[in-house]
Structure 1
Amino acid sequence: MNTDVAKDYLVQAAARVEEENRHLLVVDVSERCIATRLAIYLRDALSADYDVDVEYNRHGPDKKQLYDLMDKHDCDRDHRRDEGQTVLPDVIVHKRGVDSNLLIIEMKKSANRRGLVRDRRRIRAFRDELGYQFGALVVCKTGDRPAIDVEWYE
């Protein structure tokens, strides 16, 4: 799938969340609840060729781990490779059981902007280490004027 098509699916799914689930954003529900709605709408839009999962923690039969998130000052590269950090991406678009990873999505509510730098770093690590084609940071503004913004990474 090319970048324009993948990005369009995500932007349309985010728009559906914003339009059809405004109440969730107004009352500031959990990030996981919003991520689940986004995943449902992505799944509706995609062909049966892809699976869409929330907090999927497997890479094949193994735990999904990232090594570049480890503190580089605490250990050398070989040690990090043995003991990566187990991660739960907010939403992924992939094919279960095979190494076909299309899109990693990290979600952030505007009320919790502290983790934006960390989430951007995680997206890069997912792309570099686990071969995700694309990445996105979806920032949800909650409260009286809800909105959803998408940052796209290729």
Structure 2
Amino acid sequence: MQTELNKVVTALQEFYARETFLFEKDLGERTLTHRLAVHLERQFSGWEVDCDYNRLGERRLRLPHGSIVSTDDELGKSVYPDIVVHQREIPNNLLAVEVRKASNHQPPEHDRHKLQALTDPHLWFAYAIGIYLVLGKKSMVADVYVGGVIDQAQSVWLAGRLKDAGLG
């Protein structure tokens, strides 16, 4: 897992080095998400990196009825992760990332609940790792989700790596 997290740190270093314009102009989260996905794609050779991807083959990613993540569909709870690292045609979901700008004043619960669900090993499409990122102009906050919960040890390790990289 730390191999994958190191790739995320490298992508974040490149993102912050090359995308300062996005923060200077206070562009939206979707723009940040897309540009971060570009940098992640360079690190995850052999994997697809997509934004707002809600499929596994022909099936839609849906949460069970009664789930805490809201959606507007009536048949189930559709899931649109901000960024995913996966293989599109087979059930091989490696990484789900939820991105927030530090200036976003909406409660973070929706993103956190989504990561809990996306990494829940009881769901057929579970991602091995989830990362919650709050991106500021010069630094960030991150939590790592594994097995449907925050993995405190991996979150502390990632925070240390980000600090060492000048991003924490």
TM-score bracket, normalised by the shorter chain, equals 0.7 to 0.9
Instruction: Report the residue type matching 2:55 in the other structure.
Output: R
SS of structure 2 residue aligned to 1:149 = strand
* TM-score normalised by L of structure 1: 0.81
Aligned length: 139
Describe the shift of the 1:63–1:43 C-alpha distance in structure 2 as closer, same or farther (beyond 3 A). same
Contact 1:53/1:92, CA 8 A, preserved across alignment? yes
Alpha-carbon distance between aligned partners in 2 of 1:67 and 1:5, rounded to the nearest angstrom: 32
1:125 equivalent in alignment to 2:117: yes
Contact 1:11–1:150, Cα closer than 8 Å, also in 2: no
* Offset from partner CA, 1:74-114 (integer Å, 9 cap, x none): xxxxxxxx932112110000001110000000011111142
- What are the superposed Cα offsets for residues 87-144 of structure 1, whole Å, 9 maximum, x if unpaired? 21100000011100000000111111423122111101011122100000111114xx
Matches within 5 A, 1:42-53: 42-48=40-46, 50-53=47-50
Distance in structure 2 (CA, Å) of the matches to 1:68 and 1:124: 15
Higher relative contact order (CA 8 A, sep 6+): 1
Instruction: Give 1:69 deviation, angstroms.
Output: 6.2
8 Å CA contact 2:119, 2:145 repeated in 1: no
Larger fraction in helix: 1
RMSD: 2.0
- Paired residues of 1:69 and 1:122 also in contact (CA < 8 A): no
Per-residue CA deviation, residues 36-90 of structure 1 (Å, 9 max, x unaligned), is 1111111111122x1100111212202221226635xxxxxxxxxx932112110
User: 1-side partners of 2:133 and 2:13: how far apart?
Assistant: 11
Describe the shift of the 1:40–1:69 C-alpha distance in structure 2 as closer, same or farther (beyond 3 A): farther
Q: What SS does the corresponding residue of 1:111 show, helix, strand or coil? A: coil
Query: What runs of 5+ residues in structure 1 fail to find an aligned partner?
Result: 72-81
Identity over aligned residues, as a percent? Answer: 28
Aligned-residue offset at 1:32: 1.0
Q: Taking structure 2 as the reference length, what is the TM-score of the superposition? A: 0.75
Q: Is the 8 A contact 1:103 1:133 kept in 2?
A: yes
**CA distance in structure 2 between the partners assigned to 1:140 and 1:68 by the alignment:** 31
Call closer, same or farther: CA 1:96–1:23 in 2, change over 3 Å: same
State the partner residue of 1:7. 5
Residues 65, 115 of structure 1: CA spacing in aligned structure 2 closer, same or farther, 3 A cutoff? farther
Structure 2 gap segments, 5+ residues each: 69-73, 147-168
Matches of 2:65 and 2:90 in 1, distance apart? 22
